[in-house]
Amino acid sequence: MKKALICGVGGQDGAYLARLLVDKGYEVWGTSRDAQVAGFENLAQLGVRQAVTTRSMASKDFRSVMSVLYDCEPDEIYFLSAQSSVGLSFEQPAETLESITIGTLNLMEAIRLLRRPVRLYHAGSSECFGHVGKAPASEDTPFAPRSPYAVAKASAHWLVANYREAYALYVCNGILFNHESPLRPARFVTRKIVAAAARIAAGSPERLSLGRLDIVRDWGWAPEYVEAMWLMLQQSQPRDYVIATGQAHSLQAFVAAAFAAVDLDWQAHVDSDPRLFRPTDIAWSQGDVSRAATELGWRAQAHMPEVVRRMLAAEHPAAAKG
């Protein structure tokens, strides 16, 4: 039986990955900053809470990292924790940089010092690419980060590449584009949109205020993306992969799809508020998934309209169309 450690098991990706690995017969361990008080509601919602051994771990604290790895003795580690909000990174840049870069570094140093054949997946981000025009970004596209979050993820990406080369560790970056699900926290714009559409369809008089509606993103379905994470650690050699649908849609199109699914005209309920604009934002973000398709045999099945429908069905089943 393989053993996996998921750092950040309580989040969207961590919970779906835990379910996937439990179904594959893994012994699954998961960490959060304080496992004794964490509710792990996402694990419970997916029916795997009792199948996951949870431990407290602060990824910025090397002793904490070493203690968990020593006790768990994992075959695979998935580093999904740390500050994950682009918007929040402008308000908490130091916390964002430290939790992402130091956390990644500590895990690789622990693996190196323990001298065990552990495989590490690092959750990279499409935000590292910045604005690349309308060309889909591949693994060879240069980074041009435009937020503290993206700067931190880019730094961690190159740390992974350095440790892979310098110490022959099996470590890799998953450069994931936007991926959504009903487990997205309410602060994320996609969940905010879907939840508002469901409430308004149920009779709420509110109006939904958003930032820029003209930004373009590549949205996929989170349960599919965690399978790509697992596939990366099953290859004979470690390599970095872009994970995306390859399709690009504007935020306005996402909003329109959500409101149309509940028979509403989005323009009657949504405002674009300049006060919600970020200091810098990426105009167009789209992924080239050719390498993952060829080498991992992975392609996204659900694209933006289907992602919206599934999220809305979970938020308000009576309002969602089939």
- CA 287 to chain centroid: 15
149 is catalytic: yes
CB atoms within 10 A of CB 27: 17
* Strands 216-217 and 249-250, sheet pairing: antiparallel
Catalytic residue among 16, 26, 78, 149: 149
The closest of 193, 181, 209 to 271, measured between CA atoms, is 209
User: How many angstroms separate the CA atoms of 194 and 180, rounded?
Assistant: 11
225 is catalytic: no
Catalytic residue among 125, 147, 181, 285: 125
* Contact yes or no for 169/134 (Cβ under 8 A): no
* Contact yes or no for 178/220 (Cβ under 8 A): yes
Hey, is 24 helix, strand or coil? coil
Sign of the C-alpha dihedral, residues 297, 219, 151, 56?
negative
Q: Tokens at residue 269, please?
A: 């309920």
Catalytic residue among 32, 78, 99, 127: 127
85 is catalytic: no
| CA dist list (Å): 155 to 152, 187, 216 | 5, 25, 25
Q: Which residues are catalytic?
A: 125, 127, 149
